[in-house]
Amino acid sequence: MSKLLRPEYSSKILGVVFLSLSVYIFFFTHHTNAAIGAFFIGIFTLLIIHIPTVEKDTAVAGLKSGVLSIHYLLDDLDVSDKGAFVYPHKNLTESRVYISADEFQNLPDLYDEMSIVSGGRGRTGVSLSPPGKPLLDEAKEKMEYDLEGQGIEAGRESMGYLSQGMGLAKSFSLRKEKGVIKVRITLDDYDDYCEEMRGEAEKLCTRTGCPICSAYLTAASESLSKNLKVKKFEKEGKHIKYTLEEI
């Protein structure tokens, strides 16, 4: 029964109901206009949702996949600094999240093929693809222009699709305030997922972020063409708040 409640099935059932109703009204009453209206509603409802949706549990499992392994790997490497979201520039063709091995001093030169970043005195940090990159890539495909360097409104547009289009959050905000960038993500369906992830991986939120937060933070970095390091993280109820500083 739960399968029938999924949008791609329930919309078709509703469409059949309206089409049947239109036939009844047309042949057994004198309300021709009502019959035509019901007919078009039925056709529209049949066609509006034709792409299969994913069960929430399946979506959550997909969002967990891999990110915990990255967290445990960073623990083994003793990389505990806060993450810096680096937009594509210089030697990078795609965004990265950089976590310094020691206290952050400056951003080293990063390359696409580089994961372990080494300097003259050994390891300096780790450079990874943001966990939320696939989610952000899908949002960017829906935009009519490139996200990179288009400013705060472009960042809000991509975050809007992540929120309303993909259902990752109930609402969000992106703003500049006193020399920092602030991102707020208000969760709804995925709040339990957030709490579970934070319980299993305490440092995940400040290092790379889970796929949901990572997608929003990467969008902020790309749209502003700024390298943004996590300065502060807090969660109040269903509100996730990030304060980011430019580096």
* pLDDT tens by residue, 58-102: 455 555 557 888 888 888 888 878 999 999 998 999 999 999 988
User: Would you say how long the chain is, in residues?
Assistant: 247
- CB count within 10 Å of CB 67 equals 19
Q: For residue 62, what are the contacts with CB-CB under 8 A and spacing of at least 6?
A: 54
- Which pLDDT value is given to residue 192? 86
Which residues of the chain fall short of a pLDDT of 70? 1-15, 18, 26, 38-65, 120-123, 145
For residues 107 and 84, the answer to whether their CB atoms sit within 8 Å is: yes
- Which pLDDT value is given to residue 124? 80
- Which pLDDT value is given to residue 7? 47
- Which pLDDT value is given to residue 32? 72
- Which pLDDT value is given to residue 6? 46
Rounded CA separation 143/47 (Å) = 23
- Which pLDDT value is given to residue 14? 63
- Which pLDDT value is given to residue 55? 53
- Which pLDDT value is given to residue 13? 65
Q: Which of 163, 218, 171, 192 is nearest to 64 (CA)?
A: 192
- Residue in this structure with the two tokens 């035509």, named with its chain if needed: 36
- Residue in this structure with the two tokens 């949706």, named with its chain if needed: 53
- Residue in this structure with the two tokens 């920092």, named with its chain if needed: 180
**DSSP secondary structure letters along the chain:** -GGGGSHHHHHHHHHHHHHHHHHHHHHHSS-HHHHHHHHHHHHHHHHH--SPP--HHHHHHHHHTTHHHHHHHHHHTT--SPEEEE-S-TT-SS-EEEEESSS---PPP--TT-SEEEETTEEEEEEE--TTHHHHHHHHHTSSS--TTS-HHHHHHHHHIIIIIT-S-SEEEEEEETTEEEEEEE-STTHHHHHHHHHH-TTHHHHT--HHHHHHHHHHHHHHT--EEEEEEEEETTEEEEEEEE-
- Which pLDDT value is given to residue 136? 92
- Two structure tokens written together for 105: 């001093």
pTM of the model: 0.76
Q: Which of 179, 194, 186, 190 is nearest to 226 (CA)?
A: 179
Farthest-apart Cα atoms in the chain, separation: 88
- Which pLDDT value is given to residue 17? 72
